[in-house]
Chain A
């Protein structure tokens, strides 16, 4: 584990290029040049912004909807739970690439499912993936759809760990459904909530397949994410030193979030 972390770090301080794939130790040490260049690189800054957009909007949506479905499944019904759970979880197991190809077609402005729905009510569907403003929200919608199941399963496990006595006591004291959710469920689920938020955040920070398949980062880089940018720099243009610096910036962000989570959890268990 330490080796690739250090190797990537080392590469990020060099001008590692295609010729160095065969002669790695010929790469020149250039200090922080790559990092300086990164933060003056509009493309990288755009990709950083896009990734942040994806995370900041996508994570709360995923976690909230996952929680809602989990609560409905666990406390709202008593039949067909397995059926619903399997249904909501199914997108998680499917191949992202295949699903992204499907979503691209679902959102197709002339022949897609959404276009068909729009035309049923007499409207024309916008070109979701071809629009700078709509492409990213579309991608977020797909991510929420695909990852909601993971969060739901975590919450169901968390909900089942809440003793029924607690709920019954609350109900005897006259708590309504909303009060029960607000005062019992959410506080007791806090560790799960944090955990779900963090794994979703980490997953979303690495988002790659969706823009790769659906938009190739376009239109005009509006869906270019850090991972996609890194892939292109590293494996299409073979600016591998530079790409390593990108990978490292992302890594530091992810580590920061993980450490923050561990700290929050510790406070929580006190």
Chain B
């Protein structure tokens, strides 16, 4: 949660980060009996099977017919793949609307984080002004404050501003996260001061330096920040749950949770719920697998949950 506890500084070049299997392993490895190696592979494969079982069950169930969903003995692989669960779900829930809401909120939150966290990070890393360190301590402190603590006053504030049931109400509280400021500041510190001095000598203003020199240099950090912010917003539940009463403003998780926990059991079958979960989880998994290096690097470098 703070600089001292972060394993590995953020400023380390991402290319040194874990992941790629090193081609030449230390010499000692070869002497180890390969039986052990096989055992380790078997253990890991078993672990992976357990880890992926809920996902597999979700996918298989989403395409099962009602009969096969409740069949006894259980049907593992659907004999007849059907899209009925998806169709029924779309009849009950305006998924395209919730999808749009989630996308709009996530994109706005991400864009504003990219701009504001970079600006704050730049000021904290490279500009000298009174109280700079105090502000940085505040940022570190904010990283430690659990989000739940803010919900009540935030709700009152947003109600007073008449922002409940509005995109602004969903975006503003997350517009500049402490994590982003911290990440950008750490990254920007590794930019040599001489470079900025040289630009200043040549008559460049701070605005020019920030957009034309600093920002292009911190692209990897911006990528990490975008991914985490997009994901955080997409998965966010508690605040959208509180800040929306009007179903037209629900984000996907709020819509799904409300549907799944409907006390009148007007909610759908398990097949429909699996179809809904599938549609929410799928984009995240696709993005994750495509950009997986950035994720694990971001976690390892910034220690963010």
Indicate if the CB atoms of A89 and B54 lie closer than 8 Å: no
- From B72, B235, B273, B305, A96 is in contact (CB under 8 Å) with B235
User: Is there a chain B Cβ closer than 8 Å to A99's Cβ?
Assistant: yes
User: Is there a chain B Cβ closer than 8 Å to A91's Cβ?
Assistant: yes
Q: Which of B14-33 contact A (CB under 8 A)?
A: 17-22, 25-29
Indicate if the CB atoms of B257 and A240 lie closer than 8 Å: no
**B95, chain A: closest CB distance, angstroms:** 13
User: Is there a chain B Cβ closer than 8 Å to A82's Cβ?
Assistant: yes
Give the residues in chain B near A168, CB-CB below 8 Å.
26-28
**A8, chain B: closest CB distance, angstroms:** 6
Indicate if the CB atoms of A198 and B5 lie closer than 8 Å: yes
- Of all A-B residue pairs in the complex, the 3 with the closest CB atoms, nearest first, are A116-B74, A7-B153, A76-B40
**A162, chain B: closest CB distance, angstroms:** 12
Indicate if the CB atoms of B299 and A153 lie closer than 8 Å: yes
Against B, the Cβ 8 Å flags (1 = close, 0 = not) of A104-148 are 111010111101100110000000000000000000000001001
Indicate if the CB atoms of A101 and B296 lie closer than 8 Å: no
Instruction: Look across to chain A and name the residue whose beta carbon is closest to the beta carbon of B173.
Output: A4
Give the residues in chain A near B1, CB-CB below 8 Å.
198-199, 202, 258, 261
Give the residues in chain A near B21, CB-CB below 8 Å.
78-82
Given contacts A82-B292, A255-B144, 20 further A-B contacts (CB under 8 A): A1-B139, A1-B145, A4-B149, A8-B152, A11-B156, A21-B159, A72-B40, A76-B37, A81-B21, A85-B292, A87-B52, A91-B51, A97-B253, A101-B277, A108-B270, A113-B57, A213-B260, A231-B238, A235-B242, A247-B151
A101-B58 Cα distance, complex, nearest whole Å: 10
Instruction: Look across to chain A and name the residue whose beta carbon is closest to the beta carbon of B38.
Output: A77
Q: A4-B149, A95-B234, A116-B74 are in contact. Are A81 and B144 (CB under 8 A)?
A: no
Q: A106-B54, A164-B26 are in contact. Are A93 and B284 (CB under 8 A)?
A: yes
12 example contacts (A-B, Cβ-Cβ < 8 A) are as follows A24-B160, A69-B47, A78-B25, A80-B21, A111-B70, A119-B73, A154-B299, A161-B7, A191-B5, A191-B7, A194-B5, A199-B305
Q: Which of B57-75 contact A (CB under 8 A)?
A: 57-58, 61, 69-70, 72-74
Give the residues in chain B near A192, CB-CB below 8 Å.
7
Against A, the Cβ 8 Å flags (1 = close, 0 = not) of B168-195 are 0000000000100000000000000000
Give the residues in chain B near A96, CB-CB below 8 Å.
235, 237, 253
A68-B299 Cα distance, complex, nearest whole Å: 18
Give the residues in chain A near B288, CB-CB below 8 Å.
86, 89-90, 93
A105-B274 Cα distance, complex, nearest whole Å: 8
User: Is there a chain A Cβ closer than 8 Å to B81's Cβ?
Assistant: no
A208-B240 Cα distance, complex, nearest whole Å: 14
Indicate if the CB atoms of B44 and A167 lie closer than 8 Å: no
A150-B27 Cα distance, complex, nearest whole Å: 30
- From B19, B146, B257, A212 is in contact (CB under 8 Å) with B257
A154-B305 Cα distance, complex, nearest whole Å: 10
**A233, chain B: closest CB distance, angstroms:** 10
Give the residues in chain A near B256, CB-CB below 8 Å.
97-98, 101
Which of B53, B151, B159, B270 counts the most chain A CB atoms within 10 A? B151
Q: A90-B51, A113-B54 are in contact. Are A265 and B4 (CB under 8 A)?
A: yes
A231-B51 Cα distance, complex, nearest whole Å: 30
Interface size class of B (residues with CB under 8 A): 35 or more
**A225, chain B: closest CB distance, angstroms:** 11
Interface of B is mostly: helix
A11-B156 Cα distance, complex, nearest whole Å: 11
Against A, the Cβ 8 Å flags (1 = close, 0 = not) of B267-305 are 000100110110011001100110010011001110101
A248-B26 Cα distance, complex, nearest whole Å: 51
User: Is there a chain A Cβ closer than 8 Å to B155's Cβ?
Assistant: yes
**A247, chain B: closest CB distance, angstroms:** 5
Give the residues in chain B near A120, CB-CB below 8 Å.
73-74
Give the residues in chain A near B150, CB-CB below 8 Å.
4, 8
Against B, the Cβ 8 Å flags (1 = close, 0 = not) of A231-255 are 1001100001001100110110011
Q: A72-B44, A81-B19 are in contact. Are A157 and B7 (CB under 8 A)?
A: yes
Give the residues in chain B near A102, CB-CB below 8 Å.
54-55, 57-58, 274, 277, 281
A206-B150 Cα distance, complex, nearest whole Å: 13
User: Is there a chain A Cβ closer than 8 Å to B154's Cβ?
Assistant: yes
Instruction: Look across to chain A and name the residue whose beta carbon is closest to the beta carbon of B59.
Output: A102
Indicate if the CB atoms of A111 and B18 lie closer than 8 Å: no
Give the residues in chain B near A248, CB-CB below 8 Å.
149
Give the residues in chain B near A11, CB-CB below 8 Å.
152-153, 156
User: Is there a chain A Cβ closer than 8 Å to B231's Cβ?
Assistant: yes
Give the residues in chain A near B148, CB-CB below 8 Å.
206, 208, 227, 230, 247, 250
Instruction: Look across to chain A and name the residue whose beta carbon is closest to the beta carbon of B153.
Output: A7
Indicate if the CB atoms of B281 and A99 lie closer than 8 Å: yes
**A82, chain B: closest CB distance, angstroms:** 6
